[in-house]
Structure 1
């Protein structure tokens, strides 16, 4: 059972997301709170995933995120936003968030995205992707030469990068490409090193900036 905590300052959003998640197989909304109660709720309920509103009065999402990431074993965190251009989302990705969702995500899609995040994948809502990519990469040295760096990747590494950018976990990538989990991990490690990035979120944003997804028709 995947345990999800919803953190948002709007009661209607909290209840709506909780209802959607509780109706899905294998997912339980173990709590819903605002930013003020978020850290205590995480301590009390030990969620696998926190869906965290990036903009809240009082204690905002970035403050909660940074506190969670400082813990020895933080939960997976994905940010919630209503804005197509939200510089706070880029800051959250730099602080350790695994991805971001818009609050009006299709209810039929939300459970699959939750499973993807908990399995180790990345979720980057397409509607705000271009704004977030630009805001994120402005702070990443060397990523302005993305097209040139792309040539350093092998064809297999490019395939893995595309699937990683689609949000697939290592296990899902292995099934798609008929590779062992160990081989996928080796490819991911190699492409991260070649791109000069530190994690899957950075690699996924790099792939979008480089136009790699467009080139392969994804």
Structure 2
């Protein structure tokens, strides 16, 4: 019998944005017999001795991610990177992550992947459960994942050139995402976008640098 057959796997959620963590916590809360969220934090050190730390890459870029390394170094738990393809698995593995899971997974699939990494077993195919995946702020008002991240970077104070360089995007692509995001949230310029971001929880607490 594995340990989590006796009790749920203790999971900590880590990201710079509290608003980004709430959606993941909502997903995992549907499976209380399998996983228990014990920390939901923007800090690098967990307080409640989790078995697994799910490191959400929303608003982070794989270019020398010092926060991911700090989370790995400061905690004995297995750190699992939870991301889209633009934060490649190779970058997570180089930093020392124990696992990597895609944000395309349903809640049921995500729980199965966490359990497999916790037990060091092969992830078995899981039938999609049809549950919505809520993994980024602003999804409910029509923001795409990329548009949402652009607003996070802008609220953090990055320039378009900095975003393009670190995200491996062209400057024109960055401008396109920003322009469509502005239209969806009803702002006209960067100052209004920053103000909107602060009001809506897009202000990062990260102090390790991006």
Q: Which has the higher helix share?
A: 1
TM-score normalised by length of structure 2: 0.46
TM-score by length of 1: 0.44
Of structures 1 and 2, the one with the larger relative CO (CA 8 A, separation 6+) is: 2
